[in-house]
Amino acid sequence: MSELPGEIERLERRMKALERRVHALERPVAARWPHPSPELEAAPAPQAAAATPLAPAGSMFSVLGSAMLGIAGAYVLRAVEAASSLPKLAVASAGIVYAFLWLVWAARTRGGPRFAGAIYAGTSALILAPMVWELTLRFKVFSPAIAAGVVCAYALAAMGLARKREMAPVLRIGCIAAAGLALALAIVSHAMMPFVVVLLVLAAVCEFAPRMQNAPEVRALVALAADVAIWILIYVYFAPQPAGEEYPSLSRIALLAPGVAVFVIYAASVGLKTMLGEKPIAVFETLQTTIALLLAFVGVADFGPAGSTMLLGIVCLVLSVAAYAAVFTVFERAKEQRNAAVFAVWGAALLLAGSFLCLPPLAAIVLLGAAAIAATIVGSRARRVAFEFYGMVFLLAGALASGLPSFLVSALVGTPQGAPAAGVWPIACAAILCYAAAQPREGESWLPQTLHLGFAALAAGAVAALLIEGLMGLAALRVQPGPHHLAFIRTLTLCVAALALVYSGAHWRRVELARLGYAALALVAVKLVIEDLRHGHLAYIAASIFLVAFTLIAAPRVGRTRQKAPGK
């Protein structure tokens, strides 16, 4: 009887186990099983992992095989064209349609490897380019105009399909292939104008189509092809030797139009993006617009009618005013420093070109002197060193045009050539005013210091040279000037200039004036040995030595005295 409780307990455990089994059979089995963790569910099965590397390889082989079949089909059409009696134009049209269909297939590719669209687009270009080349150059089925139309339609189709389907490879391959084919046909066929027009159309679409801004390499290559084609056109038709029968004759308007058109396209594009869109100008746009401007200039200069140079200069001045107006209005409000810098450079270059192209020499010198003063004032007040640099550029250009450098050399160290040219006077005044407007500040970098020294050197040199010419004129009223008179007058002028520069530099705290003063002192010391002692009269030699000695003694004392004066 003692074992009875233990047996009863075992029976109860067995009954509970049977009840659990029956309950499990009555419910879905999956509900009782434990669920795996999300990490385990996301892990790929071993079989799938093993099959993954093979899938891209299979897809790649399939795509390449399809592309090779497409090229084989093109060869079939080529064989039919060469061997059959069918009209060549019909077979050629079928071949062109065949190439376009491959381009459409490239744009409609969905799924599969990402390079499929690029391979199909490349297949389309490989079918089209040789076919158009042979039909135009070998079989003469297509005229240059028809071939240009086919190339243009192909590029526009690539742009349209890519815009609709957002297929970047189709856009890039189609446009670049069309631009390269158009450039090659323009060079080889000698019928350049239709293909130049195609390149200009593609350039315009690339610049003004909104989605083309996302393909900068396409824009750059199309622009490069257009530039090269226009350069070759200008070179061929402006060559000293006639082009002969190889190149068709073109009217003056036809020769002028490409250069002007490419400039209008890129100038309008840059203007809309920077002024209306307030976008920063890119390096490509800066370079391409500059190249387009040069193409327009060369075309107008080579093929323009009489008086075109004057018109070109007026256009340059107008564009210069427009560029500076944009700098001080649109870009000033938008705080676009890059756009302002680029347009300022363009404005300076256009002002220089326009001044010499359409104005008489004296008027150009006066305009450049006034521009130098204005640029220096703007740079000094707004603390823009770039404008002070432009002021120096304008001043140097005016000085070269006026003959100021040769006048300085002849008056200071050479043989005097008489009264200075009329343009020397306004440039000398402009140099003085530019230096007066350029206010130095503490802690300046080397560039503004160099600019201020340049303004001071031009102003001081011009004043010294004019003073020498004036004293020589006065001396000529009483005696016949000889070499000793000239040597003494130069020594006197340089000594006075050295003292005046050192005094002014110390008084106004303009270090560049003091430096020029000591440079003049060194020059007069060298001049005393080279010129005065060799050509001078004894009395004049003694006077020159006395002047130089006095200046050597007085200059440092004048500088130190005036430096102490403001603190008293």
Q: 358: closest CA among 301, 407, 414?
A: 301
> Helix, strand, coil proportions of the chain in percent (round to 5)?
85, 0, 15
Which segments of 252-384 does DSSP mark as H helices, in order? 252-271, 283-303, 308-328, 330-334, 337-358, 361-381
The residue with tokens 């000695």 is 549
Tokens of 164: 């609709």
Percent pLDDT > 90 in the chain is: 58
More confident residue, 23 or 90: 90
CA distance readout (Å), 292 to 228, 286, 436:
11, 10, 39
pLDDT tens, position by position, 138-165: 888 899 999 999 999 999 999 988 865 5
pLDDT digits (tens, 9 = 90+) for 361-387: 999 999 999 999 999 999 998 889 999
User: Which residue type is seen at 223?
Assistant: A
Report the alpha-carbon distance of residue 201 to residue 223 in Å, rounded.
11
pLDDT at residue 202 above 70?
yes
User: Which tens digit of pLDDT belongs to each residue from 228-244?
Assistant: 999 999 999 987 765 55
What's the pLDDT tens digit per position in 391-438?
Answer: 999 999 999 999 999 999 999 988 887 789 999 999 999 999 999 998
Which stretch of DSSP H or E encloses residue 407?
helix 404-412
Helix 424-437 vs helix 361-381: angle between axes, to the nearest 10 degrees?
A: 0
What is d(CA 536, CA 368) in angstroms, rounded to the nearest whole number?
Answer: 41
Q: Is the dihedral of CA 470, 473, 478, 479 positive or negative?
A: positive
Q: Would you give the DSSP letter of residue 248?
A: -
Task: State the Cα torsion 132-135-138-141 to the nearest 10°.
Answer: -150
End-to-end CA distance of the chain: 133
Interatomic CA distance for residues 510 and 556, integer angstroms = 15
Q: Which of 306-315, 317-326, 434-443 has the highest mean pLDDT?
A: 317-326
Nearest to 520 by CA among 505, 498, 502, 503: 498
Q: Residues of the chain with pLDDT > 70: what percent?
A: 85
Domain residue ranges in the chain: 64-238+248-256, 360-473, 482-568
Q: How confident is the model at residue 46 (pLDDT cuts 50, 70, 90)?
A: very low
Residue 497 has pLDDT above 90, yes or no: yes
**Three-state secondary structure of 182-245:** HHHHHHHHCCHHHHHHHHHHHHHHHHHCHHHHHCHHHHHHHHHHHHHHHHHHHHHHHCCCCCHH
* pLDDT, average across residues 319-340: 90
- Of the listed ranges 233-242, 337-346, 463-472, 524-533, the least confidently predicted one is 233-242
The stretch 307-329 carries a mean pLDDT of: 93
Smallest CA-to-CA distance from 402 within 465, 345, 447, 346 is with 465
Give the largest CA-CA distance in the chain.
166
Work out the average pLDDT over 340-350: 96
Q: What value does the mean pLDDT of the chain take? A: 85
pLDDT over threshold 70, residue 32: no
User: What pLDDT, on a 0 to 100 scale, did the predictor assign at position 212?
Assistant: 86
Q: What is the mean pLDDT of residues 192-211?
A: 94
Q: Tell me the whole-structure pTM to 2 decimals.
A: 0.82
- Burial (Cβ within 10 Å: 0-12, 13-18, ≥19) of residue 148: buried
Checking if the pLDDT of 108 tops 70, the result is yes
pLDDT at 165: 53
Q: What pLDDT was estimated at residue 488? A: 92
Output the pLDDT for position 268: 95
pLDDT at 548 over 90: yes
**What pLDDT is stored for residue 44 in this prediction?**
46
Half-sphere exposure of 53 (CA within 13 A, CB side): 2
